[in-house]
Structure 1
Amino acid sequence: MTNSIAEIEDADCLLVVGSNTTEAHPLIAYRIFKAKAKNAKLIVVDPRKIQLTNICDIHIRLKFGTDIAFINGVMHEIIKNNLHDEKFIANRTEDFEALKETVKKYTPEHVSKITGVSVEDIKQVAKIYATSKNSSILYTLGITEHSHGVDNVKTLANLTMLTGQIGKKSSGVNPLRGQNNVQGACDMGALPNVYPGYQAVTDQSVCDKFQEAWGTELSKEVGKTIPDIMDGLIDGSVKGLYIFGENSVEGDPNTDHVRRALESAEFLVVHDIFLTSTAQMADVVLPGGCWAEVDGTFTNSERRVQRIRKAVEPPGEALPNWKIFSELGTRLGVEMKYDSAEEIFQEMTKLTPSFAGISYDRIDTQGIQWPCPSSEHPGTTFLHQGKFTRGKGKFHAIEHQKSKEEPDSQYPFTLTTGRRYAHYNTSSMTGRCKTLINEFPAPVAQINIEDAKQMGLNNGDQIKVSSRRGEVVTPISIGDVVPKGAIFMDFHFKNANSNKLLGTFLDPVSKTPDYKVCAVQFEKHTP
């Protein structure tokens, strides 16, 4: 997040895009409700009806995968009506003319044909967002999990720079992270192209610094992404795989492809806290410690680095994860002798400028938001004040792109997937909690009432959903939550996992799969 969670409640306008916030991020949703109570304007962009659409000022129910066209249309209106921040653009950005030329053709009428959004709503969103004192964008996987997810995010960034709604409180572009430490994992280099602190592996000076610190030779080659690894296992270019804390068999798209990949591995190690479907396929399973059994830090969505403390000892032969990694590294020839998690943290702060001023003592009771370059620095509540990290913010002229697999005569429905409030991902943890199971015991697909009438379906009926990859059977719930021609499914339950249906359609930059647009057909299923 460019801004802080607490700032949300003081925004004058909240543009929530592709985020079912009340179910996926309920504590952040609480801040949205507080902002609304202070008379903030709330705009929700989502094909589905969600809880926030009950209180929003405008619900933009656009067609799946048309976010770029919609935002380009909003920017067209902002420029046409001189609502853009000319001073901010001149002083702090570059390539504005390219953006201006691109969005010129995205008139409200043209965008309405692409997105299904009314001309009046496009104009209203443009006016409200641009003229509000502080406008904040909140987004999640509804933006990123597309075959053009990176361009979706860049388009949102364009909107913030166009209006000067960034680099100040209660503004910015704010991704709400999907896991408790996904921000921290990325910060610490769990990406194929960077070392900790987003320092490029291709930079020789960065490489030299880490080689000296770690006492081993490092590659300057960018590593493989998860989809590339899976393909590599099948074609033999990747021989083995170490999976840490991921249930790939149930969590990745195109389940049969993933199983084939893992079966092709010459050596598969899974390091986890439960014997998941993925762990059951492993040659070796390493039992790690869970969050309550280890010391260390988590970094949350707002970049806040927080202490976690061991409450109980890991059971049986399980060990803290850092001890497992350290022992493996040492046995593989790289000395990784540490006495504590704090010692590892101290090494990290020495090598990562944005964390240099953070210590266990400083975050003993209150976390600190990076960047925090020195021990006297208080941390950074919002980013890009005065200037951007790269100097001037760069506009990207981006065209509307179709999703890689849209409905056709054979597969006429759009499948989109997501989470339910009571469960988390493949439910390897929440599925072991009786309270949560009682709250949401089984999968339920959502379809539109008009489609149900045409097909003679009733609430609770079983349907067989098929795609070009496979088929699953699931009970249904009928209403107007999803638009006509669509179906929503979760991926929490092994017996009706929507990921079996999805293709491996990837964003060309991030290699993130498209979980949000998939062509399917369905019919009533009689056991």
Structure 2
Amino acid sequence: MRVSDITCMINDITVTVPRGTSILAAAGMLGIDIPTFCHDPALSRYGGCRICVVEVQGWQQLPASCVTEVRPGMVVYTESARVLEARRTILELMLANHPSDCLTCEKNGTCRLQEYAYRYGVKKGAWQGAARAYDIETDNPFIIRDMNKCILCGKCVRVCSEVVGRSVIDYSYRGFRVKVATPLDLGLSKAGCVFCGSCVEVCPVGALTDKPRVGQGRPWELTPVTTTCPYCGVGCQIDLLVKDNRVVGAKAAGHGVNGRHLCVKGRYGHQFIHHPQRLTVPLVKKNGRWQEVSWPEAIRKVAEGFRQIKQQYGGRSIAVLASARITNEENYLLNKLARLVLGTNHIDHCARLCHAPTVAGLAAATGSGAMTNPIKDIAGADLILAIGTNTTETHPVLSLFIRQAIQRGAVLVVVDPRKTELAKLAAIHLPVKPGTDIVLFNSMINVIIEENLWNKPFVEERCEGLPELTAAVRDYTPAYAQEVTGIAAETVRQVARAYATAGRAAILYTMGLTQHVTGTDNVLAVTNLALLCGQIGRASTGINPLRGQNNVQGACDMGALPQYLPGYQPVWEESCREKFSKAWGGPLPAQPGMTVGEMLQAACRGELKAMYIVGENPVISEADANHATQALSQLDFLVVQDIFLTETAQMADVVLPAASWAEKDGTFTNTERRVQRVRQAIPPVGNSQADWQIFCALAEALGRPMRYRHPREIFDEMAALTPAYAGISYDRLVKEGIQWPCPTPDHPGTGILHQEKFVRGKGKFHAVAYRPPDELPDRQYPLLLNTGRRLFHYHTGSMTLRTGLKDVYPVEYLDVNSQDAGEMGLAQGDRVKVISRRGEIVMPVRLTDEVPRGMVFASFHFPDAAVNKLTNGARCPGSHTPELKVCAVRLEKLEQ
């Protein structure tokens, strides 16, 4: 017992609790249930509803237990006669003007007001309140607000303010007219709501409900199936709500990194599962037209096509695009199919477009190309250096931990040319000129070395290459950084000192750092910074690349890379090939394969004859997308496997209908290396099949049977061959998941990498030099185009554009600086032709000050505004990632 502990008695049971514990919490430790409406352990104490009152011996009043702390010797009764009478009165008062439509209310069966009225035997009784007659708010696709049922508990107000950080709603009006409303009471759609649904999650009554779920089934009719979100790399745990083999809703599972919170995509972006455009039968193109065929005929057609090409041109004439959206088990099998059955190491996936520089750079410097720390660590950082990441839009749930850190007093520094929402939260925003990141970080290192702020014990004990780094940054003075990056020299010094002297400093970054011709060097530069200051290998520090897609980390882990077998085991090393050859039952090719960019170039040259594309849409996602379209058109044989007839699938000879993530079992690995279960909620739609089953059928047809009864068997085989996954099994992946490396079945997993030593032994500094972008604005193309993502959409839009998310954000806009627009005579909504050296598209403009002068911005989510027709295919030499963040364009205003 600590000196600060307090002993009291609740319902004649003695309990000892830490000082500051509320009566409600103390009772909970004893398993005593006290009713609550306004209380939530994750929110500030409020004490407004009074339903949690208790009797304290010697006290005249009945205090609210949620806001009253225990005191030494306190004697509490939670169900005394006085307490019961008070609770009944409170409930009667609430019911006096509450609608009595419980039988048809969506919260029937899960409503706390209903539950407590039943518990305490309260019916409509002594009190008669004036009826409220608020219009029911249905002005958006996701949330219904019926303020006639609101009990003013304030949980929605507090979660929006304290957790989500939006403050979209608050109390308005006075007296009996008080209600929870948006500014000017205009509704959520006009208030900046991001529709995360956290308010719905905490509402104890029927005031807030999920609109898509209304009329789809009562709570007791719905079966929850816990799985992992199919969108960004955060890996939120969600419960899919199933009725009659249909997914009718989703909610947070209440555990995992997200707890009770989701973003708009995770909570409301599931309607694509049952969209009428889902592929449900195999398609074969005959005489330029699609014909539906049976599975045996489709598999036979694919097998014959690949067999003929392999026999005529060899395995290296075939290439495979794996997917960050399919499971680990499926990526592993596709790897096996490509290398063993098709005889090709030409296998790659979308990491090539985003975090290939991370894999290359971090692996070279530390020995591991993965995020070093758990997501929850971010909340404990003293300084967060966020580089090229618009986290609130691209990883909304992860951004909640950034907000927590700021609330604790952490300093947020954002490096981004745009004044993003995250930049507006920052204490310091560094709007660097695009492509000048290396100058900024080398200059910070220059200051840290010059002012002797570096972590000498850490560097001397655990790092190598400091003399070379010191020489390399000598000329990168803050004055030079100001000239090149546009950031004031004193600001560079300020940030360098803050990072070096912070107790715990965490680096976060995404594609704003990697999608450059210097992408790998950019990663090496920030790694140099972390190593120099010893900000790695400890809680709330580290280098944390945030993965953009749900299983891009797992796809890399499973060998969806041309030079690596599963577990990053080099294909060129004979011992690795022998290991897999023995397990798989056949020889494997030794020469590393081509990246996706090299595949497309080889197709244009006629060297690549066939491709098997699974769950990718390069016609929209590739830089210089017109070149990608041209390359695919040169192939002799193209097979696409997907859940929709995407723009890429439309070019195929055969299209195989895959099951969505909700229709199969498996695992995803999130951005923090956490392996988590994916659970089948419904049968495959139509005659679609799980990707792993299709791979097995194709291997069988090609004479190399791969037979598995369940993805569990695939996982066990994969884990036996992959050291980092060796200790993980389905039996262990019950709830929270496990972070690799996990070498043995009794190992708990590794939350923080590089704690005692680096995977490669010593951390290695790399001297990197500034190289300008491949293409900058000039007189002919005077504007710089930057691309990225929007909150309401995902990747090439094949899923989100088939949900209610499209109703909120229906078209893409070109963000143009207001001053630039004025000089060009552009007004809000004007349509312009955006032209680069590679193509042109038409889209409306949106005037904003979020982009600096000389820059325009658009996302790549919308096929009808395919921005990657414009982007530059120049690639980073170390990772072959294209420079999607910088290209030169001009605008031509179209007549309205």
TM-score range, shorter chain: over 0.9
Query: What code does the residue aligned with 2:865 have?
Result: A
Q: Give, in angstroms, the shift of residue 334 of structure 1.
A: 2.1
Query: What code does the residue aligned with 2:878 have?
Result: V
Task: Give the number of the structure with larger relative contact order, counting CA–CA contacts within 8 Å between residues 6 or more apart.
Answer: 1
Q: Separation in 1 of the partners of 2:848 and 2:693?
A: 51
Q: 1:28 aligns with which of 388, 393, 398?
A: 398
Query: What code does the residue aligned with 1:460 have?
Result: G
Q: Separation in 1 of the partners of 2:403 and 2:868?
A: 32
Q: Does 1:437 align with 2:806?
A: yes
Larger radius of gyration: 2
Q: Is the 8 A contact 1:216 1:334 kept in 2?
A: no
Q: Give, in angstroms, the shift of residue 327 of structure 1.
A: 1.6
Q: Is the 8 A contact 1:11 1:134 kept in 2?
A: yes
Q: 2:772 aligns with which of 399, 402, 411?
A: 402
- Aligned counterparts, 1:187-198, within 5 A: 187-198=557-568
Q: 2:816 aligns with which of 447, 465, 481?
A: 447
User: Equivalent residue for 1:482?
Assistant: 851
- Aligned counterparts, 1:349-368, within 5 A: 349-368=719-738
Q: 1:239 aligns with which of 609, 632, 635?
A: 609
Q: Does 1:517 align with 2:879?
A: no
Query: What code does the residue aligned with 1:18 have?
Result: G
Query: What code does the residue aligned with 2:840 have?
Result: E
User: Equivalent residue for 1:426?
Assistant: 796
User: Equivalent residue for 2:750?
Assistant: 380
Q: Is the 8 A contact 1:43 1:56 kept in 2?
A: yes
Unaligned runs of 5+ in 2: 1-370
- Supply the RMSD in Å over aligned alpha carbons: 0.8
Say which SS state the counterpart of residue 230 (structure 1) adopts: helix
More displaced stretch, 443-452 vs 1-10 = 443-452
Q: Separation in 1 of the partners of 2:867 and 2:895?
A: 19
Q: Give, in angstroms, the shift of residue 489 of structure 1.
A: 1.0
Q: Separation in 2 of the partners of 1:137 and 1:300?
A: 18
User: Equivalent residue for 1:507?
Assistant: 876
Say which SS state the counterpart of residue 417 (structure 1) adopts: strand
Q: Does 1:492 align with 2:861?
A: yes
Q: Separation in 1 of the partners of 2:699 and 2:812?
A: 41
Q: Is the 8 A contact 1:215 1:334 kept in 2?
A: no
More displaced stretch, 313-322 vs 395-404 = 313-322
Q: Is the 8 A contact 1:472 1:498 kept in 2?
A: yes
User: Equivalent residue for 2:457?
Assistant: 87
Q: Is the 8 A contact 2:454 2:533 kept in 1?
A: yes
Q: Is the 8 A contact 1:369 1:379 kept in 2?
A: yes
User: Equivalent residue for 1:286?
Assistant: 656
Q: Separation in 2 of the partners of 1:510 and 1:313?
A: 39
Q: Separation in 2 of the partners of 1:247 and 1:159?
A: 36
Query: What code does the residue aligned with 2:788 have?
Result: G
User: Equivalent residue for 1:43?
Assistant: 413
Q: Does 1:138 align with 2:508?
A: yes
Q: Give, in angstroms, the shift of residue 210 of structure 1.
A: 0.0
Query: What code does the residue aligned with 1:222 have?
Result: P
Q: Give, in angstroms, the shift of residue 331 of structure 1.
A: 2.1
Question: What is the TM-score when the length of structure 1 is the normalising length?
Answer: 0.99
Q: Separation in 2 of the partners of 1:335 and 1:83?
A: 60
Q: 2:840 aligns with which of 443, 448, 471?
A: 471
Note the alpha carbon deviations across 1:341-383, whole angstroms, 9 max, x for none: 0000000110011111001011112200000000111000010
- Aligned counterparts, 1:251-400, within 5 A: 251-400=621-770
Q: Give, in angstroms, the shift of residue 450 of structure 1.
A: 1.5
Q: Is the 8 A contact 1:197 1:353 kept in 2?
A: yes
Identical-residue share of aligned pairs (%) = 50
User: Equivalent residue for 2:68?
Assistant: none
Q: Separation in 2 of the partners of 1:3 and 1:375?
A: 22
Q: Separation in 2 of the partners of 1:50 and 1:526?
A: 31
Note the alpha carbon deviations across 1:93-150, whole angstroms, 9 max, x for none: 1111000011111000011100000111101110111100110000001111111111
Q: Separation in 2 of the partners of 1:239 and 1:523?
A: 39
Q: Give, in angstroms, the shift of residue 333 of structure 1.
A: 2.7
User: Equivalent residue for 1:99?
Assistant: 469
Say which SS state the counterpart of residue 443 (structure 1) adopts: coil
Q: Does 1:222 align with 2:631?
A: no
Query: What code does the residue aligned with 1:329 have?
Result: A
Query: What code does the residue aligned with 1:298 have?
Result: F
Q: Separation in 2 of the partners of 1:116 and 1:525?
A: 33
Query: What code does the residue aligned with 1:170 have?
Result: S
Q: Separation in 1 of the partners of 2:467 and 2:699?
A: 51
Query: What code does the residue aligned with 1:57 have?
Result: A
Q: Is the 8 A contact 2:872 2:886 kept in 1?
A: no
User: Equivalent residue for 2:309?
Assistant: none
Q: Does 1:114 align with 2:477?
A: no
Say which SS state the counterpart of residue 306 (structure 1) adopts: strand
Say which SS state the counterpart of residue 392 (structure 2) adopts: helix
Note the alpha carbon deviations across 1:273-300, whole angstroms, 9 max, x for none: 1111111110000111111001000000
Q: Give, in angstroms, the shift of residue 472 of structure 1.
A: 1.0
Query: What code does the residue aligned with 2:751 have?
Result: T
Q: Does 1:461 align with 2:835?
A: no
Q: Give, in angstroms, the shift of residue 185 of structure 1.
A: 0.5
Q: Give, in angstroms, the shift of residue 317 of structure 1.
A: 1.9
Q: Separation in 1 of the partners of 2:469 and 2:703?
A: 51
Say which SS state the counterpart of residue 604 (structure 2) adopts: helix
Q: Is the 8 A contact 2:385 2:414 kept in 1?
A: yes
Q: Is the 8 A contact 2:445 2:473 kept in 1?
A: yes
Q: Separation in 2 of the partners of 1:365 and 1:173?
A: 26
Aligned length: 526
Note the alpha carbon deviations across 1:213-271, whole angstroms, 9 max, x for none: 00011011111100111111111110000000001111111121111111100000000
Q: Separation in 1 of the partners of 2:502 and 2:796?
A: 40
Say which SS state the counterpart of residue 845 (structure 2) adopts: strand
Q: Separation in 1 of the partners of 2:848 and 2:680?
A: 46
